[in-house]
A and B are shown apart, each in its own frame.
Chain A
Amino acid sequence: MSDYLVQFNNISKFFGKVIALKGVTMKLRKGEIMCLLGDNGAGKSTLIKTLAGVHKPDEGEIIVEGKKIIFDSPKDALDIGIATVYQDLALVSLMSVTRNFFMGREPMKGPPFFKTFDIEKANKIAAERMGQIGIDVRDPSQAVGTMSGGERQCLAISRAIYFGAKVLVLDEPTSALGVHQASVVLKYIVKAASQGLAVILITHNVHHAYPVGNSFTVLNRGKSLGTYEKKDITREKLLSMMAGGEELDKLEVELKEMNRLSAQ
């Protein structure tokens, strides 16, 4: 058996004429943070949606714990412990912290057929879990809309972990956050990985990815530019590999050339 928890083998995905992904291969281990990098439209979200059960890949296969998997719905993926925190977080801002935390998996109490949502227990767990990551939810029945972006992100992540995620997929968790809040979220991600979760961290911000990642996969226009261990690649190299990197290099050369010409 391989030591990889999740393997994407030659995944392709087409939306009509759009080739969103073409032959992408990526592997990750337990306890590892894999950063998936790439410019907007590179296909990052599409790739992880094939793992989350939102899209079925048109070519290639996904192997989880040595078994090829085919998901019919996001619920199938959740059931085997693949939790995805989407860009839009899947939080309902009008609903309370607790109701969001347990959305879809409410704790129940009472006799069969008269089971009710155990809101007291849910409140307690939600407050406790948020407390563990340093967010003191004074009133878990308050609307999520009143929380900051970082707190919401942490809520979505801690919900995924509470429900026994083995693989945690985070789609741009820091892109809408300020520096301070982003570092809070990143710290929490490292903590989650150290507890044995495999994490896929999607971002187009190398400065967020580099300090926390163990390995890096760069996507460009639906194709993988390869996966690199941290020791094998520098931040600068990653930066230039991301879409536009080479173009920016070329631009720099051209600008120098222009300056040289105008100086003459």
Chain B
Amino acid sequence: MSTKSKSINTKTDTNQDERLKKVSKLKLLLNRPELGALGGAILVFIFFGIVAGDTGMFSAYGMLNFLDVSANLGIIAIAAAMLMIGGEFDLSIGSMIGFAGICIAIPAIYWGWPLWMSIVFAFSMAVLVGYFNGILVVKTGLPSFIVTLAMLFILRGATLALTRLITGRTQVPGLRVLIENDPVAWIFATDTFKWLFTWLGSMKLIALRTDGTPLATGIPPSVIWFIFLAIITTWILMKTRYGNWIFASGGDKIGANNVGVPVGRVKISLFIGTAVAATIFATIQVLDAGSADTMRGTLKELEAIAAAVVGGCLLTGGYGSAIGAAFGAIIFGTVSMGIFYTDVDTDWFKVFLGAMMLIAVIFNNYIRRKVTESK
């Protein structure tokens, strides 16, 4: 009896065995979902290195600038990717960003809550919204696309209506003074490695202001959160039982359920994840700007999904990576900022975004066929 194939085989001589093993390792690498996005990110850096290498884009200040934009997008893209691997979408991410913003600002400014309590309140609301999205999708069996599209309108509308009702306007400023000495806010509002930048400045290695302090003062909190989330989620996907359940729930929810994976709970937790990520995004931005805006986060859900797709997530679920989504966000963030350093009109950024996504989808589709190719 013999079952022959390139990679699965009955025992033959060991020399051949070793040779085939190498081939399959290479194939394995090529099959990694984030490979395309990694390659894309490298290409983007090479491109801007050539056309904008001498413009200040790659100065410390310039780099922190595009890293900050990438990181902000990355925070929600990673969560969107996790949810996509689990087989669902969340179109309410952008609205959740706006909603979380006013959940922080209104209690803190109008009700006199301490800032930390408002932040905890915003995260509690995020858990509720995520749970509600999740339970609705799981219980009704409706496509998450529709359920969360409804939530997109409901949350944005409620954000606007409530803010106008309570404050009579659509923006809530005045938060900056509350940040100092708050026991929680620093987690979302502290530049880190300041000493490094001060030192680099004193060595005249980076650009200085006229008063002698460095132009770039430290690593923004978004970047730290981004790196932290990318590591944690990648670890979850690759190394934990819950990670295996995410792939299984997205790959075949009935099959997964039949072998005892709690598919419903996995999906609900992932919806909570996107809402919480939206709230991290919102908290960082609100504290940075010192104000909340009801329209904040508009269209961010689509950018997050685009970054996840460029990062190798399949729209059908069960395949993808968090680190890929992180690279996807870096590509978009770098191009959206880098374009200012070139002669190209910034309007072209959206064209680029769309084209990237198309190429990614076609590429991913091809990879999927390769991976699941039956002999």
Contact = CB atoms under 8 A, between A and B. Distances in A.
B9 interface: yes
Contacts of B252: 88, 90-92
Interface residues of A, number: 44
A139 B6 CA distance: 11
Interface in B236-257: 238-241, 243-245, 247-248, 251-252, 254-257
Contact of B28 (A78, A105, A119, A139): A139
Given A117-B241, A138-B7, A139-B28, A145 B259 contact: no
A138 to B, nearest CB: 5
Interface of A is mostly: loop
Contacts of A88: 252, 254-255
A58 interface: no
Contacts of A93: 251, 371-372
Interface stretch (B16-24, B221-229, B268-276, B294-302): B16-24
B209 interface: no
A81 interface: no
Interface in B1-49: 1, 3, 5, 7-11, 17, 20-21, 24-25, 28, 31
Contact of B318 (A89, A92, A104, A115): A92
A191 B3 CA distance: 19
Nearest to B2: A134
Given A148-B5, A184-B1, A90 B255 contact: yes
A106 B241 contact: yes
A93 B239 CA distance: 19
Contacts of B259: 74, 78, 90, 103-105, 159
Contacts of A143: 31, 371-372
Contacts of B319: 94
B375 A148 contact: yes
B256 A148 contact: no
B368 interface: yes
22 contacts: A54-B258, A90-B259, A92-B247, A92-B318, A93-B251, A94-B319, A95-B318, A104-B248, A104-B259, A105-B259, A105-B260, A106-B241, A106-B244, A117-B239, A117-B241, A138-B20, A138-B21, A142-B28, A145-B371, A146-B8, A148-B375, A149-B374
Interface of B: 1, 3, 5, 7-11, 17, 20-21, 24-25, 28, 31, 238-241, 243-245, 247-248, 251-252, 254-261, 314, 318-319, 368, 371-375
Interface of A: 52, 54, 74-75, 78, 84, 86, 88-95, 99, 102-106, 108, 115-117, 119, 134-139, 141-143, 145-151, 159, 184
Given A92-B247, A116-B240, A137-B8, 11 more contacts: A94-B251, A116-B239, A117-B241, A117-B244, A134-B1, A134-B10, A135-B10, A138-B21, A142-B7, A142-B28, A159-B259
